[in-house]
Amino acid sequence: MTGARVRAAVLVCGLLAVAACGSARRGVPLTGHGEPPTAELQLGQRVFARYCHQCHPGGAGGLGPALNNKPLPGWLIKFQVRNGLGAMPAFPSRVLPGEELNAMVRYLKWLRARRP
């Protein structure tokens, strides 16, 4: 590995470690009232239900850790989804196209911005 790649890997690992520190929303599901207001957010909701809800029900902990207490930036969510982490499988673009991944990230951010 080149020095730049090592530094990038250390940075990503550091950000994941910081993101692993929880917040007060740990047990509160990422659900609000009503439907997402745009077609893109509705697509994100369907993608989350298809690929994520099984292990992260409503954004809370289940088979996987809670997502509620990890307000990761969008690029880091995408990195984790594409590469997997621990028991989480990777979702390559042939399984989860970029458009769907982008919509899901925006959906997660929309949910976090809402108050349950």
Neighbours of 85 (CB within 10 A): 14
Span 86-109, average pLDDT: 94
**What is the helix (H) or strand (E) element at residue 45, kind and residue range?**
helix 39-51
Task: For the full predicted model, state whether its pTM sits above 0.75.
Answer: no
Q: According to the model, what pLDDT value does residue 19 have?
A: 47
Q: Model confidence over 40-78: pLDDT tens digits?
A: 999 999 999 999 999 988 777 888 887 767 778 999 999
Structural contact between residues 15 and 55, judged by C-beta atoms closer than 8 angstroms: no
Q: Model confidence over 4-30: pLDDT tens digits?
A: 776 666 556 554 544 444 443 445 555
Query: Rg for the chain (alpha carbons), in Å?
Result: 14
> Three-state SS across 49-98?
HHHCCCCCHHHCCCCCCCCCCCCCCHHHHHHHHHHCECCECCCCCCCCCH
In this prediction, residue 115 has a pLDDT band, given cuts at 50, 70 and 90, of low
The H helix count followed by the E strand count for the chain is 4, 0
